[in-house]
Amino acid sequence: MSSVFETVQSRDVRQLGINPNHWYVVARSSEVTNQPVGVVIWQQAIALYRDSSGKVHALEDRCPHRQVKLSHGQVVGNDLECAYHGWRFDASGECAAVPYLAENQKLPNCKIRRYQVKEQDGFIWLFPGNAEPSIEPLGLPEWEHLNYIATVSVINCNAHYSYLIENLMDMYHGHLHQDLQAWASAALQDIDEDTNRVDAHYTAQSYYKIDKIWSISQLFFPALRRLHPEPLDVSYVYPHWVSTLGKDFKIYCLLCPISATQTKAYLIHFTSLNAFWRLHKLPVWFRRFIKDSLFGAAQKLLDGLVIQDVKMIEEEQQAYLQNPDRRNYELNRALVSVQRLMRIQAQKIDNFSSAD
């Protein structure tokens, strides 16, 4: 493995493409209705829509007739109809109807690209690669689980995805978050890595301990916080990120890199109710009611963290664009592993438009 590591070492990480042979997250389930919606993954515009049975489809967002966006059209049955002249395309991307086709004319042979897409755990997962997927989406088992309360925050940053991943893997940036900070005194213990993931194990001081209901108030009143040591594990499971803090918190960041200088991502925070054993004896309908009513409980906290992080990430990108040759002074060896993984994965690009 060391020879692979050495050959990829020299590439500028801020210019790396993505490995398209993974499942990326392009939308939340709730964003895709029977009105088509346009998304972009690594400079490829894609129209997402739900057919009459509720199944989600992903087609190239381009009408082959005059190159306008199909996502500005509408869904008719299982087809996507272009807004301009009303040509229709079926879920495989074939032209299925032209409203003014003369008796002696055949349907044009103008197939557009169809993408592999799955709806799972509240999100739309898309596989931009040309190959047949040999892996499954990362998935979020906590999404449906009755013991977990979810909060979702959307990250839109004008920066290369590497800045976001490095921010998420570098727990020494707790300094930035001050009163919003969920951890303190992070210390990197060790790192496990291979060509698909990097697991960085930190210890940290945390005030999060959801064993008594009052402890949730610590989120809102810093003066009530009592710190205790907890393991803090952060993992870059290419191309996404997962973190656990003690037993009570799990956070995912699901990535949708848009271009070399733009990244969208979904940050999903789960609070576990596992510690409240009495709750588990209640009827399922009531537990679902609790889960649904508490959805978004950490919204202010999560959005606040995102605003602070995005500001730093975008400043890094701007500084890079002004002085691409200026080097950073990095003390956290987890980031060396993270950059190595990005380079290895980006090198697997197959005929995919790179950012350069």
Minimum gap (Å) between residue 117 Cβ and ligand FES:
22
Which CB, 63 or 344, lies closer to ligand FES? 63
Other Cβ atoms closer than 10 A to 30: 10
Q: Which stretch binds ligand FES (CB under 6 A): 52-60, 81-89, 178-186, 220-228?
A: 81-89
φ, ψ of residue 231 to 5 degrees: the values are: -70, 140
Which CB, 61 or 170, lies closer to ligand FES? 61
C-alpha to C-alpha distance for 220 and 222, rounded to whole angstroms? 6
Give the count of residues interacting with ligand FES (CB under 6 A): 9
Task: Look up residue 42 and give its two tokens.
Answer: 């690594």
Which CB, 63 or 313, lies closer to ligand FES? 63
C-alpha to C-alpha distance for 271 and 273, rounded to whole angstroms? 7
Minimum gap (Å) between residue 334 Cβ and Fe ion:
14
Beta-carbon-side half-sphere exposure of residue 106 (alpha carbons within 13 Å): 3
CA dihedral 347, 349, 352, 356 (to 10 degrees): -10
Residues numbered 82 to 141 that lie near ligand FES (CB under 6 A) are 82, 84-87
Residue 65 binding ligand FES, by CB under 6 A: yes
C-alpha to C-alpha distance for 98 and 112, rounded to whole angstroms? 15
Which CB, 233 or 309, lies closer to Fe ion? 309
Which CB, 90 or 309, lies closer to Fe ion? 309
Q: In the stretch 133-172, what mask flags binding to Fe ion with x, by CB under 5 A?
A: ----------------------------------------
Residue 69 binding ligand FES, by CB under 6 A: no
Whole-angstrom CA distances from 14 to 95, 315, 322, 333 are 39, 14, 13, 18
Which CB, 65 or 177, lies closer to ligand FES? 65
Minimum gap (Å) between residue 50 Cβ and ligand FES:
20
Residue 309 binding Fe ion, by CB under 5 A: yes
Minimum gap (Å) between residue 87 Cβ and ligand FES:
4
Residue 63 binding ligand FES, by CB under 6 A: yes
Which CB, 48 or 268, lies closer to ligand FES? 48
Minimum gap (Å) between residue 100 Cβ and ligand FES:
10
Sequence-ordered alpha helix ranges (H) in 57-153: none
**Which entry of ligand FES, Fe ion, none binds 68, CB below 5 to 8 A by partner kind?**
ligand FES
Helix %, strand %, coil % of the chain (to 5) = 30, 30, 40
Beta strand 123-127 pairing with 37-41? unpaired
- Give helix then strand counts, H and E, for the chain: 6, 17
Minimum gap (Å) between residue 112 Cβ and ligand FES:
11
Q: Shortest CA distance to 339 belongs to which of 1, 3, 2, 5?
A: 5
φ, ψ of residue 6 to 5 degrees: the values are: -65, -40
Minimum gap (Å) between residue 102 Cβ and ligand FES:
16
Which parts of this chain interact with Fe ion (CB under 5 A)?
309
Which parts of this chain interact with ligand FES (CB under 6 A)?
63, 65-66, 68, 82, 84-87
